[in-house]
Amino acid sequence: MPQQVIKLAVLAISLLLAAVTCLGQSTSGTVNMSATVSKFVELHSGGAVTLTGNSGGGVITDGVANSPLAVSINLGELGPVNTNNFVTAQVPLKLRSNAPYVLSMTATVTSSGTTTNRIQAADVGFGLGTVTRAGTGVHLTGTDTNATSGDPTLPANGSVNATSGRFEFTGVRSNLAAFTSSTTALNGAFIMNAVPRSNTNGLTVPAFFAIKPQFFENGTTTISVTFTVTAP
């Protein structure tokens, strides 16, 4: 009988020790991570500017592909001394996003002239050219909507006003007067697939600016254009 009691006591102590050991043993653990992918849109220069039809003038600060867009151009002479059909500046833009985007533009034209014959916003033709989605990592099947009429020098986009004789850019959103406040120029689907930012491909589109040399009031003119891309 005493031996049975001792055996029971030993068994109980063993079970108790085992239970204590099990309670103190950790065999699993967790690592919980949270993260965010925010909407991302980017506007950069698509490369060098092309200036044509100019008399004097030149590209002061050229565009550099994949660098911030900060182009400065002297368009030269815009009076009748310049016998070219148009003075045009073609500025390549490069867009990238992981979400649907909207490219807006706002423009100001200031002239030292004081009469209606001075260069005004409506005298500066504008349009976006062919939108190109190309390269590895670009969402090739995304669609884009160009709100402008394209190259403003196209015959369909402008002509001489029969009454005033002044050349007018007449296409939809074909001159800077349509952009005195921020206005959509282009929008579309997300541009980039899931690729690193170091991938330098994207959507490229040329922005055309054109001025018909005319008997404008003499003076100096400053044309300032700001593009902004957003992800609504």
Partner 1 sequence: MFKSTKGVLKALAITALITMSAVVTCAQTTGSVTMNATVSNFVELTSGGAVTLTGNMGGSVITDGTANSPLAVVVNLGELGPANTNSFVKLDVPLRLRSNVAYQLDMVSSVAGAGATAFSLKDTDVGFGLTTAARPANLAAGVDTNATPGDPTVGGSTDVDGRWVFAGANSTLGAYAVSGAVLSGPRINKANAANAAPALTLPATFAIKPQFYDPAPAITITAQFTVVAL
Give least dist CB 141 to partner 1, A. Answer: 12
Q: DSSP 3-state assignment of 155?
A: helix
Contacts of 140 by beta carbon, 8 Å cutoff, 6+ apart:
133, 134
Give whole-number Cα distances, 5 to 12, 16, 18, in Å: 11, 16, 20
| Least gap, CB of 201 to partner 1 (angstroms) | 8
Separation CA 19–CA 25 (nearest Å): 10
Candidates 28-36, 104-112, 122-130, 141-149: pick the segment binding partner 1 (CB under 8 A). Answer: 28-36
Return the residue of 8, 12, 14, 145 that touches partner 1, per CB under 8 A. Answer: 14
Q: 103 forms bridges with which residues in the sheet?
A: 186, 229
- Which of residues 6 and 162 has its CB atom nearest to partner 1 in the complex? 6
| Cα–Cα dist 78/120, whole Å | 12
User: Among 8, 10, 70, 81, which residue interacts with partner 1 (rule: CB under 8 A)?
Assistant: 10
Interaction between residue 70 and partner 1 (CB under 8 A): no
Among 94, 96, 133, 212, binds partner 1 (CB under 8 A): 96
**Comparison of 139 and 166: residue with beta carbon closer to partner 1:** 139
> Looking only at residues 152 through 211 of this chain, which bind partner 1 when binding is defined by CB under 8 A?
190, 192-197, 199, 201
β-partners of residue 145 are 187
Q: Is 32 in the site for partner 1 (CB under 8 A)?
A: yes
Q: How many CA atoms lie within 13 A of 103 on its CB side?
A: 31
132 binds partner 1 (CB under 8 A): no
Judged by phi (left if over 0) then psi (alpha if -120 to 50, else beta), residue 9 lies in alpha
Q: What is the contact surface with partner 1 in residues (CB under 8 A)?
A: 6-7, 10-11, 14, 18, 21, 25-40, 42, 96-99, 136-137, 139, 190, 192-197, 199, 201, 231
